[in-house]
Chains A and B, each alone.
Chain A
Amino acid sequence: MASVSLHRLTKTFDAGRPALQDFSLDVRDGEFVVLLGPSGCGKTTALRCIAGLEEPTAGEILIGEREVTHVPPAERDVAMVFQNYALYPHLTVHENIAFALEMRRVPKADCARRVTAMAARLGLAELLDRRPAQLSGGQRQRVALGRAIVRDPAVFLFDEPLSNLDAKLRLELRAELLALHRALGATMIYVTHDQVEAMTMGQRIAILHEGRLRQLGAPGEIYERPADVFVARFVGSPGMNILTGSGTGEGGRVMQCGSLALPVADAAGVFPTQLGLRPEHVGVGAVGEGVGEALVEVVEPLGSETLVHLDAGGQALVARLPGMADVRVGDRVGVRVDTRRLHLFDAAGVRLG
């Protein structure tokens, strides 16, 4: 077990924009950290740098107390699970799991014992003589896990390990992975673009965008107090409504966003230009109620809830209403807002207060 520290990591590929810029992250010993971001945000690059598959252009990497920035992957004591599993197709399940042990010159008998124990633990005992091509997606993922675990590494790296599985299996393996983390108590760094995975699995989540770290925090913190507009929009489904407007009223205590007039508190003397509002904190009522009126553009009834897309004088926002709401497209409705739940951002998108 070991902690992982990234210090001002920068990685530039041959052409153009750096894939990773000034990225710093401290993962504590035994922690489960998720790197979350849209594709191309640099999260996989960061993971590959930790594994040693990419050499950073600048910055340093520490695993435990040891500086490993330029150490080859074999000597870092990390294990990685790949998106496409990367099981060697010409080897059996047994040989796949034993491969890393063999490379490390673990004695044959010891090796066989550990593979058998691992297979039993992951429910692969029947499959040891099969080739990867003869396995289902879920079985392959278990073999890939087994291959990582059997080495007993200091750090586990997961590169979108569940994205190739169907939804049901993904749910199942998510739980299994968490159980595994609890049982092993190992340091795990997990890359995904799926926020549900991130929210449910990560003890802390690091959100990356365009090669930079946007926010690092526990899932609740990320959801409740997004550090900037990007995080606010990215986390949550649908993401946070962001309204732009200008201050009116005495001392700018009311902000006019399209047809909505929202009362805001003056946060640290900087007046916000962007307002964030989670869909679940928006409600609809009769015209005249609430902070203003809006036109219903789209209604998405989901059964347990209904998503209502509104146009409030040029400002688009989504309301999440419980159950099957009685709203029709083309209705004019009054917009109710839980004003205590407003998030305030400045012109650059950074959170105020």
Chain B
Amino acid sequence: MTTTSWRMLAVTGAVTAGVLTLAAARWAVGREQRVFALRTAATTAAYLSIVTPPARGGGTPGEYDLPRLLVAVRALEALSGWTPEVEVYRGTAPLVHATAPPLAPEEFERLRRLETVRWQRGAALAPLKDRDDWDVVGAVKVRVPARAGAPGWLTVVVLLVTLGAGFATVRAIRRTTYDVRRSLLAYTIAALALGCSAYWDIRSAAKAGTDRWLSDTRLLLQEAAARLPGAASRVRLAELARLARGAELVEADSAGVAPVRRTDGGQPRAAVAARLGPGRWVELRTLPAEALAGRWLALLVGVALLGPAATWLAVWGVRAAARPQRLRETVTAWGFLAPAVLHLAVFSFGPICFALYLSVHRWGLIEPGRPFVGLANFTAVARDPLVWTSVRNTLVYALYVPVTMAIALGVAVVLNRHSGVVRLARTAFFLPYVSSVVAIALMWQWMFHADFGVLNYLLSFVGLGPVDWLGSPKTALLAVMLMSVWVQVGYQMVVFLAGLQGIPQAYLDAARVDGANAWQRFWRVTFPLLKPVTLFVLVTGVIGSFQVFTYIYVLTDGGPLHATDVIVYRIYQTAWEFLQFGTASALSLVLFLILFGVTWVQFRLLGKRVEYV
């Protein structure tokens, strides 16, 4: 491609990204308003069905007293502070503005059939059911003002700045590298700002929607309390609760006219107080819509960054066109890298990022709301005594690593020669490591058995036991460690053997001539030269021990009395048994930090004098 076409591509990319960002934001803002309208329509319908008394003197059962319905609807418009534009239909006929066009029969039919709030022709339509909640007898329509979804002025300004920066970068494409880099950076920052600003519009719309619904519902609650027969102080909350579908209605003792935000038990909440009568207050609480707006941020920033990405591509293209050889190499290199990169992205980085996201959200499989909760998951983790138990157990469990290393090194030294028997012995030691973990665990379960296990049988010869290895909190962790030693010795032995064989014989010969005996040769020459191998085995071993799960899962289920409850088992249980994925993700991040710290310390302490032979 020529430079011009690359620049055209960059311009197209910049404009598309800007327009797309704005369009996405506009759609999202409109959606928030629709959500508000739908909710208000449903609430209004519920309100009307509560406050309208049944028709007097027979008629269809459950029929409303029509004049009173009309009065109630009219009263809505007169309600001070009431904002929605509402029309109520009896059947298909409009009640308030008699001259307005009626509801289309097929629309009403659909409403009757589905009995849910629907979005139709730019308005929210909620079915108005009869007093027995049996049949749909009418509809409540709530309109969103026509200007809805217009971008905020700040967003428009930022968009213009972004486009300007984009064009400036495209113009600079032919100049020196330095110029392009600077303006590309500026453009990227502007695009980021655009994404954030558009997100802010959505968030504001969501917040406004929640606030308006709370205020409007508060008015309806107060109005309903006033209209219901009997003293307001005796209105049952259960009756009013129909108004507050998808929200909580609780008795409260103070009043606030404006909606407030707060956090209840890690859950963000928007609340407003309503005064039902003298000395009687209720509080209406709901999940604030802006708590769910976070996902838009990633999307909008991503879309906004398409512009800089296209420009960067154009810069790269222009530069690559000057060096076709390099271009070919780059494309080939990426071609070869692609499978690995894709695999890593999808199965490693993707899940890691998702875990990061989960750790700051309340995220369950069945809860519909998955709000952002900040560091609440981490506080929950820190306050959970079981987490601390599992950390302690994991630390104790990790002690099996140095024990195994000592055994493995000893075995490796003994087996560091060539003969048939030695080869057989090496295979025997290595076998557990390549065997099925579950099979091994089941086998050890039998060996550990209190009554029939071979361990207790052997102990009985020396007059000890029987020990309930896996059943007693005192020995369960020890039992798991014993098994881990048995499994890992073979692997560590092979690594140590490789290390031993990497030590040139000349050093040991020199030591022999220098007068060192076998013991001195091992501690003064072999062991120091094995240090890199030892460090490798230690670090990987400790990391592995912190990630132990399968043995615990098969052997003990973390029991008895949490005696073998380790960190990963805790993560598993939190996620898949308690379905608290947010908390589980927070815990896994904590585990990551612990492992990072452990590795760092080990490298600092042992790595300083690592010799590379």
Q: Which A positions have Cβ atoms within 8 angstroms of B?
A: 48, 51-53, 72-74, 78-80, 82-84, 86, 88-90, 99-100, 103-104, 147, 151
What 18 additional pairs, Cβ within 8 angstroms, besides A74-B513, A103-B511, A103-B515? A51-B509, A53-B509, A53-B513, A73-B515, A78-B513, A79-B513, A82-B506, A83-B506, A84-B506, A86-B506, A88-B507, A88-B510, A88-B511, A89-B611, A90-B528, A90-B529, A100-B513, A147-B514
Rounded to whole angstroms, the CA-CA distance of A151 and B513 in the bound complex is 11
Instruction: Please tell me which one of the listed residues A53, A73, A84 contacts residue B504 in the complex, with CB atoms under 8 A apart.
Output: A84
Instruction: Please tell me which one of the listed residues B509, B516, B529 contacts residue A89 in the complex, with CB atoms under 8 A apart.
Output: B529
Instruction: Please tell me which one of the listed residues B504, B512, B611 contacts residue A72 in the complex, with CB atoms under 8 A apart.
Output: B512
| A103 to chain B: closest residue by CB | B515
Rounded to whole angstroms, the CA-CA distance of A60 and B417 in the bound complex is 28
Determine the chain A residues whose CB is within 8 A of the CB of B531 once the complex forms: 90
Determine the chain B residues whose CB is within 8 A of the CB of A90 once the complex forms: 528-529, 531, 609, 611
> Taking the complex as formed, is B421 at the interface, i.e. its CB lies under 8 A from any CB of chain A?
no
Contact A103 B513 (CB under 8 A): no
> Taking the complex as formed, is B613 at the interface, i.e. its CB lies under 8 A from any CB of chain A?
yes
Instruction: Please tell me which one of the listed residues B509, B517, B609 contacts residue A86 in the complex, with CB atoms under 8 A apart.
Output: B509
Instruction: Please tell me which one of the listed residues B504, B509, B517 contacts residue A74 in the complex, with CB atoms under 8 A apart.
Output: B517
Q: What are the 3 A-B residue pairs with the smallest beta carbon separation, nearest first?
A: A100-B514, A86-B506, A74-B515
> Taking the complex as formed, is B540 at the interface, i.e. its CB lies under 8 A from any CB of chain A?
no
Count of B interface residues, CB-CB < 8 Å: 21
Given known A-B contacts A74-B517, A100-B514, A82 and B509 have beta carbons under 8 A apart: yes
Q: Shortest distance in angstroms between A81's beta carbon and chain B's nearest beta carbon?
A: 9
**What string of 1s and 0s marks CB contacts (under 8 Å) between B594-613 and chain A?**
00000000000000010101
Contact B529 A51 (CB under 8 A): no
Rounded to whole angstroms, the CA-CA distance of A80 and B531 in the bound complex is 26
Q: Shortest distance in angstroms between B503's beta carbon and chain A's nearest beta carbon?
A: 10
| B525 to chain A: closest residue by CB | A88
Determine the chain B residues whose CB is within 8 A of the CB of A52 once the complex forms: 512-513
Instruction: Please tell me which one of the listed residues A73, A83, A84, A89 contacts residue B513 in the complex, with CB atoms under 8 A apart.
Output: A73
Determine the chain A residues whose CB is within 8 A of the CB of B512 once the complex forms: 52-53, 72-74
Given known A-B contacts A82-B509, A82-B510, A74 and B611 have beta carbons under 8 A apart: no
Contact A99 B506 (CB under 8 A): no
User: What are 9 A-B pairs at a CB distance below 8 A?
Assistant: A48-B509, A51-B513, A72-B512, A83-B506, A84-B504, A86-B510, A90-B609, A99-B516, A100-B513
> Taking the complex as formed, is B501 at the interface, i.e. its CB lies under 8 A from any CB of chain A?
no
> Taking the complex as formed, is B520 at the interface, i.e. its CB lies under 8 A from any CB of chain A?
yes
Contact A86 B515 (CB under 8 A): no
Given known A-B contacts A89-B529, A90-B529, A90-B531, A74 and B516 have beta carbons under 8 A apart: yes
Q: Shortest distance in angstroms between B554's beta carbon and chain A's nearest beta carbon?
A: 43
| B611 to chain A: closest residue by CB | A90
* CB neighbors of A among B525-542 (8 A): 525, 528-529, 531
Rounded to whole angstroms, the CA-CA distance of A82 and B512 in the bound complex is 13
* Residue from A48, A53, A88, A100 having most chain B Cβ neighbours under 10 A: A88
Contact A100 B515 (CB under 8 A): yes
Determine the chain B residues whose CB is within 8 A of the CB of A100 once the complex forms: 513-515
Rounded to whole angstroms, the CA-CA distance of A82 and B509 in the bound complex is 9
Contact A99 B514 (CB under 8 A): yes
Determine the chain A residues whose CB is within 8 A of the CB of B525 once the complex forms: 88
* CB neighbors of A among B467-511 (8 A): 504, 506-507, 509-511
Contact A80 B515 (CB under 8 A): no
Rounded to whole angstroms, the CA-CA distance of A104 and B513 in the bound complex is 11
Rounded to whole angstroms, the CA-CA distance of A104 and B515 in the bound complex is 7
Rounded to whole angstroms, the CA-CA distance of A176 and B520 in the bound complex is 33
* Residue from B514, B520, B524, B528 having most chain A Cβ neighbours under 10 A: B514
Rounded to whole angstroms, the CA-CA distance of A52 and B504 in the bound complex is 18
Determine the chain B residues whose CB is within 8 A of the CB of A72 once the complex forms: 512
| A100 to chain B: closest residue by CB | B514
Determine the chain B residues whose CB is within 8 A of the CB of A147 once the complex forms: 514
